[in-house]
Amino acid sequence: MAIIRSDNEADGVEILKLIIETTDYYRSMAELLAEDNLEAAIAEIAGNRESFIAPFQEVVKQLGELPARPDPDKELMQKIGGELTKFFSADAKNAILDKCLHEDDKLADLVRRTALGEQSAAFQQKLDALADNLNDTKKVIQALKD
Protein backbone atom coordinates (compact mmCIF):
# COMPACT_ATOMS: atom_id res chain seq x y z
CA MET A 1 0.00 0.00 0.00
CA ALA A 2 1.54 3.25 -1.13
CA ILE A 3 1.38 6.44 0.85
CA ILE A 4 0.07 8.34 -2.17
CA ARG A 5 -2.82 6.73 -4.01
CA SER A 6 -3.14 6.77 -7.77
CA ASP A 7 -6.41 7.99 -9.25
CA ASN A 8 -7.45 4.39 -9.89
CA GLU A 9 -6.68 3.35 -6.33
CA ALA A 10 -8.59 6.33 -4.94
CA ASP A 11 -11.54 5.62 -7.26
CA GLY A 12 -11.61 1.94 -6.30
CA VAL A 13 -11.66 2.73 -2.60
CA GLU A 14 -14.29 5.47 -3.04
CA ILE A 15 -16.53 3.27 -5.21
CA LEU A 16 -16.43 0.52 -2.60
CA LYS A 17 -17.19 3.00 0.17
CA LEU A 18 -20.16 4.44 -1.76
CA ILE A 19 -21.50 0.95 -2.52
CA ILE A 20 -21.49 0.18 1.20
CA GLU A 21 -22.97 3.57 2.09
CA THR A 22 -25.80 3.32 -0.44
CA THR A 23 -26.57 -0.25 0.64
CA ASP A 24 -26.87 0.90 4.24
CA TYR A 25 -28.83 3.97 3.17
CA TYR A 26 -31.39 1.91 1.28
CA ARG A 27 -31.80 -0.38 4.29
CA SER A 28 -32.46 2.62 6.52
CA MET A 29 -34.90 4.16 4.07
CA ALA A 30 -36.71 0.82 3.68
CA GLU A 31 -37.57 1.00 7.37
CA LEU A 32 -38.85 4.55 6.97
CA LEU A 33 -41.00 3.60 3.99
CA ALA A 34 -42.57 0.54 5.61
CA GLU A 35 -45.92 2.22 6.14
CA ASP A 36 -46.01 3.19 2.45
CA ASN A 37 -45.66 -0.53 1.58
CA LEU A 38 -42.30 0.15 -0.07
CA GLU A 39 -40.12 -1.64 2.45
CA ALA A 40 -39.77 -4.82 0.39
CA ALA A 41 -38.93 -2.98 -2.84
CA ILE A 42 -36.33 -0.76 -1.18
CA ALA A 43 -34.87 -3.69 0.79
CA GLU A 44 -34.50 -5.58 -2.49
CA ILE A 45 -32.54 -2.67 -3.92
CA ALA A 46 -30.28 -2.80 -0.85
CA GLY A 47 -29.78 -6.55 -1.30
CA ASN A 48 -28.92 -6.13 -4.97
CA ARG A 49 -26.47 -3.35 -4.16
CA GLU A 50 -24.88 -5.44 -1.41
CA SER A 51 -23.92 -8.04 -4.02
CA PHE A 52 -21.35 -5.54 -5.34
CA ILE A 53 -19.47 -5.22 -2.06
CA ALA A 54 -17.39 -8.40 -2.33
CA PRO A 55 -16.42 -7.89 -6.00
CA PHE A 56 -15.27 -4.34 -5.32
CA GLN A 57 -13.45 -5.40 -2.17
CA GLU A 58 -11.52 -7.69 -4.49
CA VAL A 59 -10.84 -4.81 -6.90
CA VAL A 60 -9.47 -2.71 -4.04
CA LYS A 61 -7.37 -5.64 -2.87
CA GLN A 62 -5.98 -6.16 -6.39
CA LEU A 63 -5.07 -2.48 -6.49
CA GLY A 64 -3.01 -3.03 -3.35
CA GLU A 65 -5.25 -0.91 -1.15
CA LEU A 66 -7.19 -1.49 2.02
CA PRO A 67 -10.93 -0.91 1.89
CA ALA A 68 -12.12 2.31 3.48
CA ARG A 69 -14.98 2.03 5.89
CA PRO A 70 -17.96 4.32 5.55
CA ASP A 71 -18.17 7.10 8.10
CA PRO A 72 -20.65 5.98 10.77
CA ASP A 73 -21.40 9.61 11.68
CA LYS A 74 -22.28 10.38 8.06
CA GLU A 75 -24.54 7.35 7.90
CA LEU A 76 -26.27 8.37 11.12
CA MET A 77 -26.81 11.89 9.77
CA GLN A 78 -28.26 10.46 6.54
CA LYS A 79 -30.69 8.33 8.54
CA ILE A 80 -31.69 11.28 10.72
CA GLY A 81 -32.07 13.37 7.55
CA GLY A 82 -34.44 10.75 6.15
CA GLU A 83 -36.46 10.74 9.36
CA LEU A 84 -36.66 14.54 9.34
CA THR A 85 -37.74 14.48 5.70
CA LYS A 86 -40.47 12.02 6.56
CA PHE A 87 -41.61 14.14 9.48
CA PHE A 88 -41.57 17.55 7.80
CA SER A 89 -42.32 16.84 4.15
CA ALA A 90 -45.83 17.10 2.75
CA ASP A 91 -44.92 14.25 0.38
CA ALA A 92 -42.50 12.24 2.49
CA LYS A 93 -42.45 9.16 0.28
CA ASN A 94 -41.37 11.02 -2.85
CA ALA A 95 -38.95 13.21 -0.90
CA ILE A 96 -37.23 10.13 0.56
CA LEU A 97 -37.14 8.44 -2.84
CA ASP A 98 -35.57 11.60 -4.29
CA LYS A 99 -32.91 11.43 -1.55
CA CYS A 100 -32.22 7.82 -2.57
CA LEU A 101 -31.72 8.92 -6.17
CA HIS A 102 -29.41 11.70 -5.02
CA GLU A 103 -27.23 9.26 -3.09
CA ASP A 104 -27.02 6.99 -6.13
CA ASP A 105 -26.10 9.93 -8.36
CA LYS A 106 -22.80 10.35 -6.46
CA LEU A 107 -21.88 6.73 -7.11
CA ALA A 108 -23.09 6.81 -10.73
CA ASP A 109 -21.02 9.91 -11.43
CA LEU A 110 -17.88 8.27 -10.06
CA VAL A 111 -18.51 5.07 -12.04
CA ARG A 112 -18.94 7.12 -15.24
CA ARG A 113 -15.79 9.18 -14.84
CA THR A 114 -13.33 6.62 -13.46
CA ALA A 115 -10.59 5.21 -15.66
CA LEU A 116 -10.37 2.14 -13.45
CA GLY A 117 -11.82 -0.06 -16.21
CA GLU A 118 -8.78 0.65 -18.36
CA GLN A 119 -6.67 -1.47 -16.01
CA SER A 120 -8.41 -4.73 -16.84
CA ALA A 121 -11.42 -6.19 -18.60
CA ALA A 122 -12.53 -7.73 -15.30
CA PHE A 123 -12.62 -4.31 -13.65
CA GLN A 124 -14.59 -2.92 -16.59
CA GLN A 125 -17.12 -5.77 -16.35
CA LYS A 126 -17.65 -4.99 -12.66
CA LEU A 127 -18.06 -1.30 -13.40
CA ASP A 128 -20.52 -2.05 -16.21
CA ALA A 129 -22.55 -4.35 -13.94
CA LEU A 130 -22.62 -1.67 -11.25
CA ALA A 131 -23.69 0.97 -13.80
CA ASP A 132 -26.49 -1.36 -14.94
CA ASN A 133 -27.56 -1.81 -11.31
CA LEU A 134 -27.62 1.96 -10.81
CA ASN A 135 -29.72 2.44 -13.95
CA ASP A 136 -32.12 -0.33 -12.92
CA THR A 137 -32.39 1.14 -9.43
CA LYS A 138 -33.21 4.56 -10.88
CA LYS A 139 -36.01 3.03 -12.95
CA VAL A 140 -37.44 1.20 -9.93
CA ILE A 141 -37.31 4.31 -7.75
CA GLN A 142 -38.96 6.42 -10.46
CA ALA A 143 -41.72 3.79 -10.79
CA LEU A 144 -42.31 3.84 -7.02
CA LYS A 145 -42.84 7.59 -7.03
CA ASP A 146 -46.38 8.94 -7.49
pLDDT, one tens digit per residue, over 104-131 is 999 999 999 999 999 899 999 999 999 9
pTM of the model: 0.85
Mean pLDDT value of segment 30-46: 89
Residue range 7-65+78-144, CATH number: 1.20.1260
d(CA 27, CA 42): 7
Distance of CA 145 to the CA centre of its chain: 19
| pLDDT over threshold 60, residue 17 | yes
At residue 35, the pLDDT reads 80
At residue 3, the pLDDT reads 57
Mean pLDDT value of segment 124-143: 97
Contact present, 18 and 31 (Cβ < 8 Å)? no
110-to-13, 26, 86, 95 alpha-carbon distances in Å = 11, 19, 28, 24
Mean pLDDT value of segment 87-109: 84
**Sequence-ordered alpha helix ranges (H) in the chain:** 7-32, 39-50, 53-62, 72-88, 92-113, 121-144
When the pLDDT of each residue in the chain is averaged and rounded to a whole number, the result is 86
